[in-house]
Every structure is written in C-alpha cells, then in structure tokens.
Amino acid sequence: MFIVSISIVVSFYFIGMMICRLLKGQYRQSSKLSKIMTLVLSSLSLACILFGGYWLFNSGDSELPILYRLKTMKTTEQYSLPLANPSVPGSYQVKTLTYGSANSYRKEFNAENSLITKPVDGSSFVENWSSIRTKTFGFGSDQMPLNGTVWYPDGKGTFPLVIVVHGNHLATDYSHPDMLI
C-alpha cells in the first residue's frame, strides 16, 4: 500500500512537471524522441494514477469464491469423527525415563534409573565453536551430550509418540522440557 501511494505521488509530480513545461512552450524546439518519451512517460504516469487510485479506494469483492474457506472445510467428512480432548488426563499413569551423559552436572540425568548415553560428534553441524563455549558448557562440538526425557503411559497397548524438542532460547537455558511437537 505504501509503494502504491508513493508511485501515485511520483506520477503526479511527473505529470505536473510535463504540464508546466508544456505551458511554458519548452516542447516546441524539442526533438521528436523527446516528445515521444514525454508522451510515453505521461501515459504511464496517468495509468499509474488511475490503477493505483482504483486499488487504494476499491474495497474489493468479498463475494469471490475462495476454494478453501474454513466454513466449508469443517463440514467435510474428514472432521466427522468426534475426538477426545487431548489435554484431559487419560486413564493411564504417566512414567518418565531420562537419558543423558554419565558425567552431567544435571541431577536428573544422573538419577539411579536414567539411561547413560555416549556423547555425539556434532562438529559437522556446528561452525565456529569457541573455547568460551567449551568452558561454559563443559564440552566441545565433538563431544556433545545426548540428553532427554521420555514420558510414557504405564500400561499395555500401542501409544502415539510425542517428541519433545528445544527451540529458540538462550544457550545457557535447559532445552529438553521446552516444547511438544
């Protein structure tokens, strides 16, 4: 919208400049090429004013068909099955299992029933790993700990898998309990 408004203002400037030169008679001794260029620029400026003005002042047509309106999609067959609210506690108790490095300073990964993992080499994925990072975290890019928590239902059956990932946060904040996918 800003660009359209600016182009209209610039077009008015060009048309005003050409009208001023025309009234002063400056086009009488001009070459044929100069007259043609003036006519083309005037036509483009006028078209820009007309189309831009129409675009700015027209409210549009809300009756145009939109292929995927939410009202029509909700009535389709894919939403016909009633689903339970996933935020309501279910009938199973939830257990947790942690896994992480053996020498972690974080107590949840050194618990009695936690799984011990080997560090992974992430140097292929991380560039410019500084010595300050190594001192801060206690590991380098070639010895990254593999830490995490698994929540699972206490019972028999097939259950969906929910993966917990970390997102955009400070590097010194813990990342494993952040977001669910």
List, for residues 67-95, the tens digit of each pLDDT value: 666 666 666 566 566 777 777 888 889 88
Q: What pLDDT is attached to residue 181?
A: 41
CA distance 10 to 12: 5
CA distance 2 to 64: 25
Angle, CA of 166, 167 and 172, to the nearest 5°: 75
Q: Measured between alpha carbons, how far apart are the two ends of the chain, in Å?
A: 37
Give 180's pLDDT tier (boundaries 50, 70, 90).
very low
**Residue 134, domain extent:** 93-180
CA distance 31 to 80: 74
Whether residues 101 and 172 fall in one domain: yes
Whether residues 141 and 172 fall in one domain: yes
Whether residue 88 lies inside any domain: the answer is: no
Residue 3 tokens read as 């660009």
Whether residues 78 and 100 fall in one domain: no
Specify the pTM. Answer: 0.43
Whether residues 108 and 130 fall in one domain: yes
Whether residue 111 lies inside any domain: the answer is: yes
